[in-house]
Structure 1
Amino acid sequence: DDGDGERRHQKLLEAISALGGKKRKKLAERTEAGLQVSEFGISAKGAGEKINLADLVNPVKKVTPLTKVKKQLNKLQETSSVELPLSKEESQKIQRIVSYKHTSEEISRWDDVVKENRKAEQLVFPLNDQPLKPAPIEDAMVSWKASTPLEMEIFSILHKNKQPINDPLLTPLEEASLKAMSLEEAKERRAELQKARALQSYYEAKARREKKIKSKKYVYYTPISIGGHHSPF
């Protein structure tokens, strides 16, 4: 009775489907266990044969779309990907980190010295106490170079007349006063004296040159009478 009822129900469904004008494809349905072993279904019933591992592996060995996709994925994993370049902010951050480490290593070398100085009750710095003595102007003239037109003119005059290269820059009285001053005051005073001597020598050389030029040139004015008036021309 149950089998007849199912067949009648199936025929009724087919008749209803035929009314639509299109016959639907009938899907095959499995109603009993089969003897074929596959990865989708395993049946233990049959002619008394047992399931072997080879029966389960054989379907996997066959080429299926999934195995092709798997091979493609393996190829993609094997190929080395190109890394993207770092951004400007990241590269600058790395440079700062490297610079900080390098600077820390350089500074850490003086940690022992700093600790000893902190523990010491008194720090003594050995300064070379050399007597203050102005350098000869010959040494200054060798390393000095004129940069402005006025300096070039002064330099040419001093070089031409040998003044004050051969003369002492400071008098004994000035040297004694410099020794009585402090280091900073002596440097300032020495610079002022050197500048004053250079200007004095420049003006003296300029006056001698103008006097020499005037002694070679004479201007004569011959009076000419024009209409009762005397003209120097």
Structure 2
Amino acid sequence: MKVISMIPARYSASRFPGKLMQNLAGKSVILRTYEATVATNLFSEVYVVTDSNIIYDEIVNNGGKAIMSIKEHESGSDRIAEAVATIDCDIVVNVQGDEPFTERESLEKVLSVFHDDPNKDIDLASLMVQITDWDEIKNPNTVKVIVDQENFALYFSRNPIPYPRDENANAKYFKHKGIYAFRKEALLEFTELPMQFLEASEKIECLRYLEYGKRIKMVETNVQGVEIDTPEDLERAKKLWK
């Protein structure tokens, strides 16, 4: 089973423009993410896929591999599907460019879904981590996920889900970490599906998968890390890096 990683990377970002080129302990956020992904030693190849000459040059000039997008894309999965169409592989892992704390343990867990699926029933797997801080639970920058008893995703939202109407129900809250692992065929199929209103409303691309009746296997990890969506996140990342 040949596994590669693709890191979609846009220069512009509505909440934090240019965030991937911000300095994190002497290197850019995108270079930190690329190097962390390579360092897991789980992938035959790792590529950054971008629409930005600045990001492309940042990776290539530091000895990495990058691909320039040909078209404009609505989501990271659409971006990497274009790039992966002519690449020989079985599994494609989408690591978000703002995840500099990407590490081997969590990625191994999500890849184990496919090793334990000889009939190829599962097309897509992703990661979640339990959160207990109510400020983070309420934060719309933190995507939450709820799952069934077999850990298949039921819904993703920027709102707190489930809603805590009964505070004695002992509800657990899980943050969706921005890592997806696709079978290549499923990724290419994903990009042929038009965006529907749930994805358009929440701006969460994996909702497209659920809207078309697909199943997403969620895997729990204990590794928090910091996804860099805001300047405040960057400051937290700098402290954690130390």
TM-score by length of 2: 0.21
- Which has more strand, going by share of residues? 2
- Which has more helix, going by share of residues? 1
TM-score by length of 1: 0.22
Taking CA–CA contacts closer than 8 Å with sequence separation of 6 or more, which of the two structures ends up with the larger relative contact order? 2
